[in-house]
Amino acid sequence: MVGDIRVSGDSSRVITLSQAADEPRELEFGPGKLTPGKPAWANYVKGVVANFHLGQIPAFEAVIATSVPLGGGVSSSASLEVACFMFLAALTSHLESINLKEVARACQKAEHQFADMPCGIMDQMVTCLAKPGTALLLDCRSLETDFVPLDDPELVVLVTNSNVRHTLTGSEYPSRRRSCETSAQHFSLKSLRDLDMDTLLNGAEGLADQELLRRSRHIVSEIKRTQDAAAALKTRDYKQFGRLMNESHFSLRDDFEVSCPEVDELVALAQSVPGVFGSRMTGGGFGGCTVTLVTRDAVDRAIEVMRSGYHGSATFYVCEPAAGSRGLQFPHSN
C-alpha cells in the first residue's frame, strides 16, 4: 500500500490494482464514521482506518498492489489489513513506536467488525512478526511466540493455488467455530484448547452428534500435532514434520470437513513425489492453496507432477520464510 497525505480536500481515496478484487476498485470516504458495504475489498481498509488508535488520520491517497492470491487461504486479508495499518502509522509518524501485537489485535478487530468474519489472530500475528528463516509457533490465547528454525538451504515451501476460490463470510467457517464452542460448553470449558483426547473420547456419548465429535477431535489432535511439529523442526526431523503435515490434512478433510476434491487431488499428487516430506491444505478451506515441504532439488518434479495430474489449472509459488510487514518512508521528490 503506497500513498501520501492528500494535497487538498478532506476525503481519502484508495485504489486497488488487483484484478481479482470486486468492483468498483476505487474507494473514497470522508472523515466521518465508516460502515461496511460494497466493494468487499474496501471493508478491510475501512476496518483498519476505524480501528487505528495511534493518532488522527489525515486525508490521504493510496494505491494497493499485491501478489498474494485473493481467497486462496494464504492470508490475503490479513496482509491487506497489516499493510494498511503500517501505511497509516507511517502517515501519522508512528512507524517507529508501534507494538506489533497491538497491530495484530487491531487488524483482527477490523476483520470482525467490517468483514463480518470471526477469524482468529494467527494470520495477523505472523504477518506482523514473521522472521526470515523461521516458522512461528503461536499461542493464540496468550500471544506468546516461539520462532522455530526453518532455514535449511536444501528445503523450500511450495504453495500451490488450486484456483478454486473460497469466501469465508457466510460459509462454513462460522459454522465450524460454533461447533467448537458448543462442544466446549458440553465439557464446561472456555475453549477446546483445554480438552485432552482421553476426556473427549470418554465424554463423547454426551455430545449431540458424531459431527461434534469429529470437529472436536480435529481441534484436540491438531493442537498436539502443532506442538510436535515445532519440536520436529527444532531437531530438523523433516520426515516427522512431513508426516504431521499429512496427518493434519487428513484430519482437516475427514474430521473438520473443510477440504474439497480439487485440494485433495493436489495434496495426493504432491505426496506421491520423492523428495516431498508432506503436504496439506492451508487457510479456511473449500478451495484455495496447499502447502508442501519439499527438497529444493525435487521442487521442479513436484510442480510437474501436480500440474500434469491436476484436473484444474494450478498456480505455483516457490517460497522461503521471510520477514513480516514493515513500513517504508520515501523522501518527497521536488
Q: Which positions are catalytic?
A: 123
Per DSSP (E only), the strands in the chain are: 2-5, 12-16, 26-29, 60-64, 134-138, 145-149, 155-161, 276-281, 289-295, 315-319
What is the side-by-side strand order in the sheet with 60-64?
2-5, 60-64, 12-16, 26-29
Distance CA 148, CA 130 (A): 11
Buried b (16+ CB within 10 A) or exposed e, 68-105: bbbbbbbbbbbbbbbbbbbbbbbbbeebeebebeebbb
Size of the chain, expressed as the number of residues it contains: 334
- 274, 242 Cβ separation under 8 angstroms: no
- All three cell numbers of 162: 488450486
Distance CA 130, CA 125 (A): 8
- Identify the three-state secondary structure at position 26: strand
Residue 298 Cα distances to 214, 243, 265, 266, 270, angstroms: 35, 18, 19, 16, 11
Q: Which residue matches cell numbers 487461504?
A: 73
